[in-house]
Amino acid sequence: MAAALPPPECVLCHRSDTSLDGCGLMQQVDGVCAHVNCLRCCICRKKGATVACRQKRCSRRFHLPCSSQRGCISQFFGEYSSFCWEHRPQQTVETLQEGHTTCIICMEVVEDSLSYTTMVCPSCKHAWFHRGCIQGQAYRVGLRHFACPHCRDQERFVPEMAQMGIRVPDIKPACEQEEEEELALPQLHGRCDARQCLYRGGREQWEEEG
Ligand SMILES: [Zn+2]
Ligand SMILES: [Zn+2]
Ligand SMILES: [Zn+2]
Ligand SMILES: [Zn+2]
Ligand SMILES: [Zn+2]
Ligand SMILES: [Zn+2]
């Protein structure tokens, strides 16, 4: 006769007891056992938080959409690590602001020192920006064009921004798509028989050039 299996252990708190007021009941998630309450989001307190802080011994878990509300960071490269607000990586650039510093992107004031929302270029140490503003920039231009808006550095700038949780998508940036469309214009106009030609120089100029 087979021996009775030991009760399953929660992968998060390593206990096997269940109680309705404490850890809650045991739940199977992705093939592992965990208490319902051990899987709660530490920000919204709701169930099913799949992102965990990477720091050893930190038990904070959260939903990805909740993470920015409390200053948690998720890195979108390598091991895709996440960190809670207490253990998130910080910029270590030593820099001083000159008087009231504004965001180089939106021109609104930034905080007095580096924080979750206020960041600086590690290369020129001169360009300050909001997290949301530099994230917007990264989405617009993509990996190949992402650079400090002030000194255009990529070598130190891009890895540091990625480290700080800025997502830099490897996409064809919007500006290149526009460039390609512009390049395609004369060709289109070669076949254009519209009464009002939209070619910038007018149809006559186009015909002269062609
Ligand atoms: Zn547990
Ligand atoms: Zn949540
Ligand atoms: Zn943590
Ligand atoms: Zn800004
Ligand atoms: Zn810079
Ligand atoms: Zn035309």
Residues with CB under 5 A from ligand 5 (ion): 121, 123-124, 127, 148, 150-151
Between the CA of 187 and the centroid of ligand 6 the distance, in Å, is 10
User: Does residue 137 lie within any of the structural domains?
Assistant: no
Q: Report the separation in Å between the CA atom of 39 and the middle of ligand 4, taken as the mean of its atom positions.
A: 35
Spacing, Cα 61 to ligand 2 middle (Å): 9
Separation of CA 205 and ligand 6 centre (Å): 11
Residue 61 lies in a domain: yes
Any domain includes 111: no
Give domain status of residue 54, yes or no.
yes
- Cα 173 to ligand 6 centroid, rounded to whole Å: 27
Ligand (nearest to CA of 187): 6
Is residue 92 a part of any domain in this protein? Answer: no
Range(s) of the domain holding residue 57: 26-83
Residue 190 lies in a domain: yes
What local confidence, expressed as pLDDT, does residue 202 receive? Answer: 47
* CA–centroid distance, residue 188 to ligand 6 (Å): 7
CA of 174 to the centre of ligand 2 (A): 32
> Within a domain: residue 103?
no
> What is residue 210's predicted lDDT score, i.e. its pLDDT?
47
Ligand 4 centroid–CA 180 distance in Å is: 29
Per-residue pLDDT tens digits of the chain, which is 210 residues long: 556 777 788 888 888 888 777 788 888 877 778 888 888 999 999 988 989 999 988 989 999 999 999 999 999 999 999 999 999 999 998 877 767 789 999 999 999 889 999 999 999 998 999 999 999 999 999 999 999 999 999 999 999 999 999 999 987 766 666 666 555 555 444 445 444 455 444 445 444 544
Is residue 38 included in any domain, yes or no?
yes
Q: Which ligand is nearest to the CA of 62?
A: 2
- What pLDDT is stored for residue 4 in this prediction? 73
Last residue within a domain, chosen from 45, 62, 83? 83
Question: Would the ipTM clear 0.90, i.e. be above it?
Answer: no
Q: Which neighbouring-strand residues pair with 19? A: 24
| Ligand 6 center–CA 140 separation, angstroms | 29
Point out the domain boundary residue: 53, 83, 113: 83
The total of structural domains in the chain comes to 2
Report CA(195)–ligand 4 centroid distance (Å). Answer: 45
